[in-house]
Amino acid sequence: MTGAGESSSPESEITSEGILSALKKSPGRPMKPKEIARLLRVPHERYLELRRRLRDLEKRGELRRVGGNRYLIPRKTEGESPSRPPRPEQGKSREDGARSGVVGTYHRGRSHGSVRPLDPRASSEILIPLGAEAGARSGDVVVVRVTQSRGRRVRVSGQVERVLGRSGDPGVDVRGILHSYGLPEEFPAQVEAEARLAEGRVTCPGDRTDRRDLHVIVIDPNNARDHDDALSVTPLENGLWEVGIHIADVSHFVEEGSALDREAHLRGTSVYLVDQVVPMLPHALSSGVCSLIEGEDRLALSLILRLDGEGKVRGRSYERTWIRCARQLDYDQAQEVLTGKASVDEETDRALKTLDRLAKALRKKRRDRGSLDFDLPEARVVLDEDGIPVDILRTIQLDSHRLIEDFMILANEVVATDAKRKGLHIPYRVHEPPAPDKAEGLRALLAPLGYTLPRDGLGPKSLQQVLDRAEGRPEAALVSTVVLRSMARARYDAENLGHFGLASRAYTHFTSPIRRFPDLVLHRMVARVLVEEKAPLQGWSLAHIAEISERSSERERVAQQAERDSVDMKKIEFMSRHLGDDFEGTISGVTSFGLFVLLDRFFVDGLVHIRSLEDDFYTFLPEAYALVGKRSKRRLRLGDRVSVRVVRTDKEARRIDFLLIRHRV
């Protein structure tokens, strides 16, 4: 007899055996949690229970999570190579995941044409019968619809659907990336129409708090068009400070369930390519009435904090506000003020220096509890007016960057903590500890270098201590790289799993609703529950938030890879002008097929193929992050310093080839 609340259907039972059995039925193909749920007939209300069981299996090493939040049963002999992370699937449409076309370069032959995909991970060339080229000429970048898949004796064939332009022409390579990832170039007409109507809702409702008396400062990159966060600081009694963290109130303009909202959900995030932005919201909102612009009255959702001099939160409140930004600065301008090299005005200078002192106190508190700080540089491609790359620079982390980052992290933690305390269903930003196999591999690598990690309870503080010990030593680059690559990928989840890297018990994304859908969803909850003190809407269930979290995580991965690919394209184009030149660099990745080397002069990496290492026969030791010579026992290891020569660049194959000239341990 079945008791109350129990299920009489064995298919709905969520057991480890059932999950593993479902995955064994599709060997080699990773599956999403939703696919597993369908196979096991898991009821909608028990979906989160399934997700917890999947994470338990992952922690025990019985499952492995790969790109796209998919799970598979790991092979026992599988070795991890510290090369590049798994990349999300490309060519997906916005609606239902169907293939949206393959992008490649068309070549005309005598009896037929062919298209070589721009994505080197895609299948081999696609045959284009004569008459199916849609006017394409050799060297054109095209979008192809596959009409016949590969068979035993049949090649993949297709039909050209669209010509994007000539390979090498400015902007064509980035348009190819847009199409490869199914990123839309335009908004549907209904969405644009709703955005224009929403522009008219900029007037201040009577229930808002007028905070236009505050000296509000916006700090962003000098090329930013969407400004969704700003700060103010006011002295209080007893050595306290009132810090206002003002975030654009996008939820006022984007109604839940509207065409605008559905489009934002589909896109998930804005995509920042090397020469353009694919916004989550139409420009009328993203760079218009939602954006916090100097001298303009704007609607905001403000978190008002009371801080002491050591960065401890002594009180907080939430307000829907009406603000006016007094100053809009870029990071370099703010940095000049902080270093005393320049001045904006007396009030702005004083506010920036006060915020900087408080930010440093916040940073110390985070570091004391174990928050990891990698301070990783990124590449910035400098383009001329025609879109041609003229330089590749490393971004430098300034105090002005850290100031904004520190207060945004604080806001995200405060909101997550308050939501957790009230039992609200929100999309948390989670970062789980390293998987057991990753942690064990890290211990094995660090031990010969004299670094030890605890066997149980590996926490971020232990890893930060290792990074601190390695700083300034010859192996510092190696230690920093392998610690970073042992980390899991941060993502969104309906459950609060904590944030390992920040050593935070609860974390979310609250500060960028113009460009991230989870932030917009969270704003609706904060405005309704924490400002208006109403009950959450019934539709905001755990399952609903879980679906938003899963899709947003997937869209974020696609956006990140598209952004990296657009930068890589420009790097290859730039390095083609340096063929034959020699550079100093560091081994940044080791694989079974060679070494990746990151150059000092330009923030560019390329491959030293193992076939080009002619002095010995080299084998790959994944546990040592090294290639080892069979005869000489020479080790080419992650973090080693080398000199290389640029010998080949290929935009179609997306690669830069180096020749190893000199190796220094």
Question: How many separate domains does the chain show?
Answer: 5
Across 473-486, average pLDDT: 82
Is pLDDT of 59 > 80?
Answer: no
Is pLDDT of 388 > 60?
Answer: yes
Is pLDDT of 10 > 80?
Answer: no
Q: What angle do CA 238, 242, 247 make, to 5 degrees?
A: 170
- 85 to 80, 208, 354, 484: CA distances (angstroms): 11, 46, 40, 12
Q: Are residues 222 and 287 in the same domain?
A: yes
**CATH code, domain with 43:** 1.10.10.10
- What would the pLDDT profile of 240-256 be if each residue is shown by its tens digit? 999 999 999 999 999 99
Q: Are residues 296 and 402 in the same domain?
A: yes
499: confidence class by pLDDT, cuts 50, 70, 90: very high
- What would the pLDDT profile of 530-566 be if each residue is shown by its tens digit? 999 999 988 899 989 999 999 999 999 999 999 999 9
Q: Are residues 414 and 522 in the same domain?
A: yes
Mark which of 468, 487, 506 sits at the end of a domain: 487
Is pLDDT of 640 > 50?
Answer: yes
Residue 306 domain-assigned? yes
Q: Are residues 216 and 284 in the same domain?
A: yes
Across 109-122, average pLDDT: 84
Which pLDDT score is estimated for 482?
Answer: 84
Identify the bridge partners of residue 636 per DSSP, sorted by sequence position: 627
- What would the pLDDT profile of 505-530 be if each residue is shown by its tens digit? 999 999 999 999 999 999 999 999 99
Across 203-232, average pLDDT: 91
542-575 and 517-525 helices, crossing angle to 10° = 150
pTM over 0.75: yes
Structural domain range at position 144: 102-180
Is pLDDT of 354 > 90?
Answer: yes
Which pLDDT score is estimated for 455?
Answer: 82
122: confidence class by pLDDT, cuts 50, 70, 90: low
Q: Are residues 407 and 446 in the same domain?
A: no
% residues pLDDT > 90 (the chain): 60
Residue 159 domain-assigned? yes
Residue 605 domain-assigned? yes
Is pLDDT of 283 > 80?
Answer: yes
Which pLDDT score is estimated for 8?
Answer: 35
Q: Are residues 405 and 372 in the same domain?
A: yes
Across 36-48, average pLDDT: 83
Q: Are residues 417 and 448 in the same domain?
A: no
Listing DSSP states for 46-64 in one string gives GHHHHHHHHHHHHHTTS-E
Q: Higher pLDDT residue, 296 or 201?
A: 296
**CATH code, domain with 600:** 2.40.50.140
Residue 378 domain-assigned? yes
Mark which of 180, 210, 235 sits at the end of a domain: 180
Tell me the C-alpha distance between 579 and 466, whole Å: 39
**CATH code, domain with 134:** 2.40.50.700
Q: Are residues 413 and 443 in the same domain?
A: no
Say which residues have a Cβ less than 8 Å from residue 295's Cβ, sequence separation at least 6. 324, 325
Which pLDDT score is estimated for 121?
Answer: 67
Is pLDDT of 295 > 70?
Answer: yes
Q: Are residues 336 and 237 in the same domain?
A: yes
Which pLDDT score is estimated for 113?
Answer: 93
For residue 404, what are its two tokens?
Answer: 């904004």
Q: Are residues 440 and 426 in the same domain?
A: no
Which pLDDT score is estimated for 75?
Answer: 64
Residue 383 domain-assigned? yes
Tell me the C-alpha distance between 653 and 517, whole Å: 33
Q: Are residues 57 and 139 in the same domain?
A: no
Listing DSSP states for 220-276 in one string gives E-TT-----EEEEEEE-GGG-EEEEEEEE-GGGTS-TTSHHHHHHHHH-B-EE-SS-
259-267 and 542-575 helices, crossing angle to 10° = 60
- 415 to 313, 504, 518: CA distances (angstroms): 12, 12, 13
Residue 88 domain-assigned? no
Is pLDDT of 403 > 80?
Answer: yes
% residues pLDDT > 70 (the chain): 91
Q: Are residues 483 and 505 in the same domain?
A: no
Instruction: Write the burial class of residue 580 (CB in 10 Å: 0-12 exposed, 13-18 middle, 19+ buried).
Output: exposed
Average pLDDT, the chain: 88
Which pLDDT score is estimated for 303?
Answer: 98
- Beta strand 594-599 with 582-591: parallel, antiparallel or unpaired? antiparallel
Residue 78 domain-assigned? no
Which pLDDT score is estimated for 522?
Answer: 98
Mark which of 55, 72, 89 sits at the end of a domain: 72
Which pLDDT score is estimated for 58?
Answer: 81
Residue 110 domain-assigned? yes
Out of 16-30, 369-383, 473-487, which region has the weakest mean confidence (pLDDT)? 16-30
- What would the pLDDT profile of 11-21 be if each residue is shown by its tens digit? 456 888 888 88
- What would the pLDDT profile of 140-160 be if each residue is shown by its tens digit? 999 999 887 766 556 788 999
Is pLDDT of 477 > 80?
Answer: no
